[in-house]
Structure 1
Amino acid sequence: MTTEPPIILHHFPQSPFSEKIRLIFGLKNIAWTSVLITRIMPRPDLMPMTGGYRRTPVMQIGADIYCDTQCIIRELERRFPAPTLFPEACRGLASATAMWTDKAFFQSTVNLIFGSLADKVPQEFIADREKLRGAKFDIAAMTAAIPQMRDQFRAHLQWIDAQLAYGRSWMCGDQVSLCDINAYMNVWYLRTNLPVLDQLLAEFPATKDWEARMRAIGHATSTEISTAAALEIATRASPATIELADPHDPNGRKPGDAVTVMPDDYGKIGVRGKIVALSSQHIAIRRNDPITGEVVVHFPRAGFLVLPA
């Protein structure tokens, strides 16, 4: 009798993107395994699994490695469909909100936090993020922009508040959805770093109450293992992904094609492999690593480039 491999989240406590997934574990009451990784590189036990992809979090199920919260969320919804993150009224919009929350909203949040922390930000963290971004992590510019970033963050809060109008408990109506999870990430990030959130929420009582409801969801039950133990699980497992073609792929890609996949904005480290499965929202590539052996690495399509290898 074979046992299902654990659902492993590679994350660190301060990661706002990881908080999305931790909340989904809580909402769906999923027992999960926690692997704490460092906030900055190197991550020698994780890179053999991802092929170099270094953004946080990463989810591992055996020798299947899921990169980016979009991809992780879709897989968790597939395995644990209830309660759904995609109510009928906003099934497509729920995913699309990430293009707002993870980009413009997140950037104003980052600038406000690190501009306010200023000289408290460690130099090794700045150097790591400059390498990740491929651009200067300019704390002085962030500090100078604090008034503008307060304006930006307030504008995003007002959008949430407008969506909670007419007594709604949640952004899509009477149940929690991915819209809530995505938007809450930035509110949580500011809350955990600066005392200014209560001041900004003062004019948005519906959003303040919503934040408390979101916080109360919790993270379900987790057990912790080491990075080395997670790597050992991957080396002993075989990928479970089934080959899947996409007859509507606009570029004619098909299983077996050699490709390189990378984010289109920052952390542009290409991961090479051969396509196993693909659809409008997902691409999985098979790669062989000297340490892990065969793994299948999964990525979303929105926000990622798929290039000929």
Structure 2
Amino acid sequence: MSSALILHHYDFSNYSEKVRLVLGLKGLTWRSVEIPPTLPKPDYIPLTGGYRRAPALQIGADVFCDTARIIEELERRFPEPTIYPGPDSVAQRAFTAGLERWTDATLTRNTINYISCEHSDADRFTPEFLADRAALLGKPEPGLAHRKAAAIKNLTQLRPQLSWISDILHDGRTYIYGEAPSLADCVIYHPLWVMDQLAGERAAVIPAVIRQWMERVAAHGHGNPTSMTAHAALDVADSSDPLPPLPSQTLDGDPALGDTVSITPTDYGRANPSVGTLVAIDAQRLALQHRNERTGLVTVHFPRFGYSVRALDG
């Protein structure tokens, strides 16, 4: 059984950057598998049972999807140094979870929509990429006139959010919660970082006080990654056994353990669910198992929040 951390990601994925930052804060050694940013993903989907979004963290034959579930697992396995520093880590954990819902959804949507419309000629925005993202979001691909209008619309929403972050940092603190870096820094950093990545230059809209904080966060790096091929990662899964499922607490309306289910994001990417046998479920987490000829038996883990689980007929 392999205990190596294998991150399936791509370079300009802001959600992958959030996880890479946590790996850096913890000083962890990990294997890096670069996956395509667009479909098809023939060496990734066999691991996840159908789920297409990045990143995913593979540990042997267990695959953790969604940054919330990935980071929860990293903190459980490697509690020191903690990503919740300070005397009241329980309250900080809850507050950061709420903060993350804002940055993962609203802030990320505004930063990406603004920069993709303002810099629609940047190298990242190939026709294949734009078509893939339109399909992922279930929307038509916008024309040039629409993009310019959308850039202005998103900038008006982005400016007040940038002012909130500036207000947090105005007292000269080193990090969001004070002198120690935390998950809060990672969850605010990644939607701002992606603007530079997509535009191919430093986004002028980011104020200097935020830029200085971003440089301090980035200085922690990404831990100690080494490259790994996707085929080698599939071989690791095939030669490993999944860990025993976590204890379950089935709630009203939940499918039963052993049912064939689909687990689907509730926001976007709903056309690409993960499908398999439900092996664990409670108020916080979901897990299913599926078997693929390239991976053998794999357990795929999700957070409960942000995902729906549905029993499939037959």
TM over 0.5: yes
- Whether the 8 Å contact between 1:258 and 1:273 is mirrored in structure 2 is yes
Q: Who is 1:223 aligned against?
A: 226
| CA distance, structure 2, for counterparts of residue 65 and residue 196 of structure 1 | 34
Task: Encode CA deviations 1:46-78: one digit per residue, 9 max, x unaligned.
Answer: 111111100011111111011111111111111
1:236 paired with 2:239, answer: yes
Specify the SS of the correspondent of 2:234: helix
| Further displaced range: 177-186 or 128-137 | 128-137
Change (3 A) 1:142 1:102: farther
- Spell out structure 1 runs of 4+ moving beyond 4 A: none
Residue 15 of structure 1 and its aligned partner are, at CA, apart by: 0.8
Partner of residue 126 from structure 2, selected from 116, 122, 129: 122
- Whether the 8 Å contact between 2:83 and 2:181 is mirrored in structure 1 is yes
Q: Who is 1:283 aligned against?
A: 286
Specify the SS of the correspondent of 2:206: helix
Where do 1:13-92 residues align within 5 Å? 13-87=11-85, 88=89, 89-92=91-94
- Whether the 8 Å contact between 1:243 and 1:255 is mirrored in structure 2 is no
- Whether the 8 Å contact between 1:118 and 1:143 is mirrored in structure 2 is no
- Whether the 8 Å contact between 2:2 and 2:240 is mirrored in structure 1 is no
Amino acid at match of 2:259: D
1:153 paired with 2:179, answer: no
| CA distance, structure 1, for counterparts of residue 143 and residue 26 of structure 2 | 38
| CA distance, structure 1, for counterparts of residue 183 and residue 72 of structure 2 | 11
Partner of residue 99 from structure 2, selected from 94, 97, 100: 97
Amino acid at match of 1:135: K
RMSD, aligned α-carbons: 1.9
- Whether the 8 Å contact between 1:235 and 1:291 is mirrored in structure 2 is yes
Residue ranges of structure 1 left out of the alignment (5+ in a row): none
| CA distance, structure 1, for counterparts of residue 240 and residue 59 of structure 2 | 9
Q: TM-score, normalised by structure 2?
A: 0.90
Change (3 A) 1:189 1:70: same
Q: Who is 1:212 aligned against?
A: 215
Amino acid at match of 1:112: Y
Q: TM-score, normalised by structure 1?
A: 0.91
Change (3 A) 1:200 1:225: closer
- Whether the 8 Å contact between 2:49 and 2:275 is mirrored in structure 1 is yes
Change (3 A) 1:93 1:241: farther
| Further displaced range: 18-27 or 3-12 | 3-12
Amino acid at match of 2:207: L
Task: Encode CA deviations 1:215-242: one digit per residue, 9 max, x unaligned.
Answer: 1110111111111111111111110143
- Whether the 8 Å contact between 1:5 and 1:62 is mirrored in structure 2 is yes
Partner of residue 189 from structure 1, selected from 184, 191, 194: 194
| CA distance, structure 2, for counterparts of residue 172 and residue 51 of structure 1 | 38
- Whether the 8 Å contact between 2:235 and 2:294 is mirrored in structure 1 is no
Where do 1:157-176 residues align within 5 Å? 157-176=162-181
Task: Encode CA deviations 1:169-192: one digit per residue, 9 max, x unaligned.
Answer: 222233222221111001111123
Amino acid at match of 1:153: L
| Further displaced range: 91-100 or 192-201 | 192-201
Residue 250 of structure 1 and its aligned partner are, at CA, apart by: 4.1
Q: Who is 1:107 aligned against?
A: 109
| CA distance, structure 1, for counterparts of residue 63 and residue 244 of structure 2 | 10
1:258 paired with 2:260, answer: yes
Change (3 A) 1:19 1:139: farther
Amino acid at match of 1:160: I
Identity among equivalent positions (%) equals: 38
1:267 paired with 2:273, answer: no
| CA distance, structure 2, for counterparts of residue 174 and residue 190 of structure 1 | 26
Amino acid at match of 1:177: S
- Whether the 8 Å contact between 1:85 and 1:176 is mirrored in structure 2 is yes
Change (3 A) 1:110 1:252: closer
Partner of residue 9 from structure 1, selected from 7, 10, 13: 7
Amino acid at match of 2:112: V
Change (3 A) 1:139 1:16: farther
